[in-house]
């Protein structure tokens, strides 16, 4: 049995954990989440640096950075090929790769970098994917992508899918298109936020060494979430192209 002060301190920390608080910037009359944009720019800068290092001195016998870049490209290409097939995967590799690398970078930025050491007037730096606005934007981009895929291949005949195999399924097929972005966005948001809250509470209750396995598990889970999101996006696009 744990002492009473353990439970009281746990509940106090859970009550003090701030969810959804942000440091706002006023840009042209619009309030934007400043700390989310800062971390997003940081992740984009890192991705650009890795891309530059991997393509700076390409050689027939690749160096370490070129090896890393080629392995990354092969990995995301396999995701697109497995879901879309040989006929369609090439044109969708850039989109699937961008989704995977951006989400992977955001999740790792929140799990690896000690952002909590930087104090802000309100809110705190964290993984951009623990903000519902970021995950909803990624899910909507995926929705636009598979609508574009279907319309570009079949034209307005793409909408016949809503009444197939029978017109009675029209409401269900329409509802399905609404549930796809919802499931994508809330799955990613919920997993990243739950992981960060768990680590925040554990590191406040016990020494740093004890939460390390949980932190390692969070890094692994962040990688898996990036893979799941990009794989599902490719699967939805493949479904639109069928």
Is there a domain that residue 7 lies in?
no
How much is the average pLDDT of 38-45?
A: 91
Residue 19 per-residue DSSP state: -
Which of 124, 125, 144, 146 minimizes the C-alpha distance to 136? 144
Alpha helices in 17-127 (DSSP H): 34-55, 64-84, 89-112
Overall domain count for the chain: 1
**Most distant pair of Cα atoms in the chain: their distance:** 66
Lowest mean pLDDT among 11-15, 85-89, 114-118, 126-130: 11-15
Is there a domain that residue 71 lies in?
yes
The pLDDT value given to residue 207: 61
* CB 155, CB 149: distance < 8 Å: no
* CB 84, CB 237: distance < 8 Å: yes
The pLDDT value given to residue 58: 75
Is there a domain that residue 79 lies in?
yes
pTM recorded for the entire structure: 0.82
Is there a domain that residue 14 lies in?
no
The pLDDT value given to residue 6: 42
Residue-wise pLDDT tens digits, 86-96:
888 888 999 99
How much is the average pLDDT of 16-35?
A: 67
**Beta partners for residue 24, in sequence order:** 33
Is there a domain that residue 9 lies in?
no
Q: Which residues contact 59 (CB under 8 A, 6 or more apart)?
A: 66
Q: What pLDDT band is residue 7 in, cutting at 50, 70 and 90?
A: very low
Is there a domain that residue 148 lies in?
yes
Instruction: Find the distance separating the first CA and the last CA of the chain, reported in whole Å.
Output: 58
∠ CA 110-113-116, nearest 5°, is: 80
The pLDDT value given to residue 14: 37
Is there a domain that residue 12 lies in?
no
The pLDDT value given to residue 45: 94
Q: What pLDDT band is residue 117 in, cutting at 50, 70 and 90?
A: low
Q: Which helix (H) or strand (E) holds 32?
A: strand 30-33
Domain that residue 64 falls in: 19-241
**Beta partners for residue 25, in sequence order:** 32
The pLDDT value given to residue 21: 62
DSSP readout, 190-224? HHHHHHHHHHHHHHHHS-TTTTHHHHHHHHHHHHH
How many whole angstroms separate alpha carbon 92 and alpha carbon 77?
A: 9
Percentage above 70 pLDDT, the chain? 81
Is there a domain that residue 45 lies in?
yes
How many whole angstroms separate alpha carbon 154 and alpha carbon 141?
A: 20
**Mean pLDDT score of the chain:** 79
Residue-wise pLDDT tens digits, 195-219:
777 777 776 676 666 667 777 777 8
> Which has the higher per-residue pLDDT, 144 or 159?
144
CA distances from 20 to 109, 130, 133, 141 (A): 18, 9, 10, 22
How much is the average pLDDT of 179-187?
A: 87
Choose from 55-59, 150-154, 184-188, 216-220 the range with maximum mean pLDDT. 184-188
The pLDDT value given to residue 59: 76
- Give the torsion sign (CA, 42, 44, 46, 52): negative
């Amino acid at each position: 049995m744990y002492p009473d002060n353990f439970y009281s301190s746990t509940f106090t920390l859970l009550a003090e954990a701030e969810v959804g608080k942000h440091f706002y910037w006023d840009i042209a009359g619009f309030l934007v989440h400043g700390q989310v944009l800062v971390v997003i720019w940081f992740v984009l800068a890192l991705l650009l640096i890795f891309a530059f290092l991997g393509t700076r001195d390409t050689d027939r016998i690749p160096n370490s950075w070129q090896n890393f870049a080629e392995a990354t490209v092969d990995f995301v290409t396999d995701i697109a090929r497995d879901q879309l097939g040989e006929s369609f995967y090439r044109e969708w590799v850039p989109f699937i790769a961008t989704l995977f690398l951006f989400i992977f970078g955001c999740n790792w930025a929140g799990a690896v970098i000690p952002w909590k050491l930087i104090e802000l007037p309100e809110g705190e730096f964290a993984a951009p994917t623990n903000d519902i606005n970021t995950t909803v934007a990624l899910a909507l981009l995926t929705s636009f992508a598979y609508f574009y895929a279907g319309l570009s291949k079949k034209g307005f005949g793409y909408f016949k899918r809503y009444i197939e195999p029978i017109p009675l399924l029209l409401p269900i097929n329409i509802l399905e298109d609404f549930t796809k972005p919802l499931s994508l966005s809330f799955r990613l948001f919920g997993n990243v936020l739950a992981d960060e809250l768990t680590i925040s509470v554990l590191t406040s209750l016990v020494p740093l060494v004890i939460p390390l396995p949980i932190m390692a598990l969070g890094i692994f889970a962040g990688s898996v979430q990036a893979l799941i999101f990009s794989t599902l996006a490719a699967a939805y696009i493949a479904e639109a192209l069928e």
